[in-house]
Each structure stands twice: as C-alpha cells, then as structure tokens.
C-alpha cells in the first residue's frame, strides 16, 4: 500500500513539473522570445557571408590567444602582456579621441603594441591619429550608377571616379597576392616612417591599398613604439572569401604572420563597433 502511494506521489510530482514547464513555454511564446542581438556587419559574431567569424576561428587554431571584445572597457580586463595586436575590420561606428586613447592605454601593458585596421571608410582615422601613424583612409562616396551597367565610385577629394572592384597587388611575407577589392577606398600616406605593401591603379594613377607605419607615442607617461598596419578594404577578411577562396585565406594568414612573427601574439578583435539588430526585428 505504501509503495503504491509513493508511485502516485512521484507521478503527481512529475506531472506538476511538466505542467509548470508547459505554462512557462506558453507564456514565453505569447510574450515573444528574448531580445537576442544579431550583427549584420563585419562583426566576429556574424557567421554569415559578411561576418568575420571564420577569420577568428582560423587564427585561434594558429595562435590560441584570440579575444573578441564587445566593449572597449573589456580591454583592461584581458591578460595582455607580450606582443599584442588590436584588430578592427570595417567598423560601423567611428572611434572617438577618448576611445582611441583608451585602446592605446590598455595596450600599454603589452611588450609590443600593434594595430591592424582594415577599413574602407574614415571611421578609424581618429585611432590612426592617436597611434601617431602617418596614414589616413580617404573619404569616398558610396557606389554610384553610370552609363548603363558600368558601376563606379566617386572620390570627391580627387573629383574622379574609381572602379568598384579594383585588383590590388599585395606583397606580404615574400609572396605576391592579386586580390580583388570590394568598393575599396585608398590610403593617404603622409610624412613619417611608413612602407607601402599594397597598390592598385586607376588610369595612370597609383593608389595605396596597404601600408604599415611605425611611430612613437606617449602611453601612461612612457614613450612607446606602435606598429600600425592599414588596409583600405575590410572585405578581404569576410567569411564569403575566407571560407571559399584559398588565396584570400592564405593572404590573411600570411599578413597576420608578418605582423605577429613566428613567436605569435595575443590578438584582440574589436566587436564593439557594430550596431546590433534585435532578432525579433529581423524575424
């Protein structure tokens, strides 16, 4: 008799738990799912065509210490010490002077300070200025339509039209790569210690698509050397080419290898510059 009561009690308990779970699920369905954000741009969290999640994964396999931050304040909490590389790809929100100084201040704990900026817009120029790099990304207007199927990009600074998909030649790690850029800008190189490693041509004019600069700035009261690598196009790192094209994938690996060296480095991807879209809005 007592065993029968125990079985009945256990059955009722399970039924009660399942009922409560069902009520909760029904309530959640009526209320709507949680506001999970989705990133549509070149965010490391975007696993779609124009995200950079694949690049992060292949670098983790090679270097191990690859971090993704969603807020610049997280930089201060990372265990950075050796050679550090801060990476930003096609940021959607521009860096302010305060944010740029915050980035460099956090990287001041590292033995070596390195930046990799792949940006076809001017959103990273303030960071370049703070790093003391004599490099700036030119401001170009979005893609325009001209004479039927011919698509061009208008550059107001030179008052000329640029091809939307120029082929740039890069010299990286002793290798030559011919890479198709996607509505890219170009890099203005000023006076200072800088070397050009990527170029493309428009008519008889040569435009810079890749450059590296070495500068010395004051960080936390100390003079520090900074190495800054700039590409005038972030599309070379997107999932759509990293996943499907061996040339782009090897170019990316060789570029990071040329920056980090054989000893490797701690790599930080900045995911704070992309506007999150609530999943409910997309649905």
Hunting for tokens 């059955």 — which residue is that? 11
CB-based contact 94:136 (threshold 8 Å): no
Mean pLDDT by 10 residues, the chain (283 residues): 46 48 44 55 92 96 92 94 96 97 96 97 97 96 76 87 94 96 94 97 93 96 96 97 97 96 91 78 55
Tokens coding 78? 């990372």
- Model pLDDT for residues 124-140, shown as the tens digit of each residue: 999 999 999 999 999 99
pLDDT value, residue 37? 61
Hunting for tokens 């971090």 — which residue is that? 67
- Model pLDDT for residues 195-230, shown as the tens digit of each residue: 999 999 998 899 999 999 999 999 989 999 999 999
For residues 57 and 37, what is the distance between their CA atoms, to the nearest angstrom? Answer: 21
pLDDT value, residue 262? 79
- Which positions ≥6 away from 47 have C-beta within 8 Å? 53, 54, 239
Burial of 66 (0-12, 13-18, 19+ CB in 10 A): buried
> Which helix (H) or strand (E) is 63 found in, with range?
helix 53-63
pLDDT value, residue 27? 45
Average pLDDT of the chain is 87
- Model pLDDT for residues 51-72, shown as the tens digit of each residue: 999 999 999 999 889 999 999 9
For residues 78 and 257, what is the distance between their CA atoms, to the nearest angstrom? Answer: 22
């Amino acid at each position: 008799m007592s065993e029968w009561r125990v079985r009945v009690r256990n059955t009722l308990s399970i039924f009660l738990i399942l009922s409560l779970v069902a009520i909760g699920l029904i309530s959640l369905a009526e209320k709507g799912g949680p506001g999970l954000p989705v990133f549509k741009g070149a965010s490391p969290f975007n696993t779609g065509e124009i995200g950079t999640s694949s690049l992060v994964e292949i670098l983790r396999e090679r270097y191990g210490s690859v971090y993704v931050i969603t807020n610049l304040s997280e930089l201060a909490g990372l265990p950075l010490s050796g050679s550090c590389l801060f990476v930003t790809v096609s940021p959607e929100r521009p860096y302010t002077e305060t944010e740029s100084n915050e980035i460099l201040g956090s990287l001041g704990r590292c033995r070596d300070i390195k930046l990799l900026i792949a940006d076809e817009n001017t959103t990273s120029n303030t960071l370049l200025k703070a790093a003391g790099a004599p490099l700036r990304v030119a401001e170009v207007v979005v893609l325009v339509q001209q004479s039927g199927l011919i698509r061009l990009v208008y550059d107001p600074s030179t008052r000329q039209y640029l091809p939307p998909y120029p082929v740039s030649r890069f010299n990286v790690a002793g290798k030559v790569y011919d890479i198709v850029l996607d509505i890219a800008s170009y890099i203005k190189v000023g006076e200072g210690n800088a070397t050009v490693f990527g170029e493309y041509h428009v008519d008889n004019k040569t435009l810079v698509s890749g450059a590296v600069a070495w500068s010395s700035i004051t960080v936390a009261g100390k003079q520090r050397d900074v190495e800054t690598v700039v590409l005038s196009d972030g599309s070379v790192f997107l999932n759509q080419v990293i996943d499907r094209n061996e040339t782009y994938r090897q170019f990316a690996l060789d570029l990071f290898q040329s920056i980090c060296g054989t000893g490797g480095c701690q790599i930080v991807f900045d995911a704070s510059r992309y506007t999150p879209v609530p999943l409910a809005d997309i649905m």
